[in-house]
Amino acid sequence: MVLLFSNCQQQDNNPTAQEETQSIFPKGELGSKENFTGKAWASSLVANDSTYNTLVGNVYFEPGARSNWHIHPAGQILIITDGEGYHQIKGQARQTLKKGDVVTCPPNMMHWHGASPEKGMQQMYIIPNTEKGIVKWLHPVTDDVYASEQ
């Protein structure tokens, strides 16, 4: 089976923020308010199946937007293709991310990721070994945690 996704023209629901970053993929669907603070747009690139056991997608975080804390039973790989943002693993310092950065989060570690306050972030994600599970969503990242470098 060969999957081929065209690079569709994206809808520009927020021209001011979107202009800050270059997008490779369609903007996609607005993420649920249950799992995100602010606006995060998710686009699926490779759906989960038993051949690859791998989920791939893109998320565009508008400035200030971030995921809730969450856990991936088999870990996650994040690849930043434009903009600026953060990644934090529970108990570790917040990392600043920019275009070309690649970070990993090990299996069963709590983490969150999102844009910086001033600039959005284009972020691809890879969830490997999905036979072990995909994601367990937890509580929101408070403004204090989001703003702290620790």
Q: Which two tokens stand for residue 125?
A: 């994600």
- Rank residues 106 and 143 by Cβ distance to a copy of itself and give the closer one: 106
Helix or strand holding residue 128 (H, E): none
- Rank residues 128 and 140 by Cβ distance to a copy of itself and give the closer one: 128
Q: Measured from the CB of residue 42, what is the shortest distance to a copy of itself in angstroms?
A: 15
Q: Measured from the CB of residue 34, what is the shortest distance to a copy of itself in angstroms?
A: 27
Q: Measured from the CB of residue 72, what is the shortest distance to a copy of itself in angstroms?
A: 11
Q: Are 64 and 34 within 8 A, CB to CB?
A: no
Q: Measured from the CB of residue 68, what is the shortest distance to a copy of itself in angstroms?
A: 20
- Rank residues 1 and 144 by Cβ distance to a copy of itself and give the closer one: 1
Q: Which positions lie near a copy of itself, rule CB under 8 A?
A: 1-8, 22, 24-26, 45-46, 51-54, 56, 74-75, 77, 79, 81-82, 89, 92, 95, 98-107, 124, 126, 128-129
Q: Which one, of 23, 28, 148, lies nearest residue 96 by Cα?
A: 148
Q: How far apart are CA 46 and CA 71, in angstroms?
A: 20
Task: Taking the CA atoms of 14, 70, 32 and 41 in sequence, report the sign of the dihedral they define.
Answer: positive
- Rank residues 27 and 66 by Cβ distance to a copy of itself and give the closer one: 27
- Rank residues 35 and 95 by Cβ distance to a copy of itself and give the closer one: 95
Q: How far apart are the first and last CA of the chain?
A: 45
The radius of gyration computed from the CA coordinates of the chain, to the nearest angstrom, equals 15
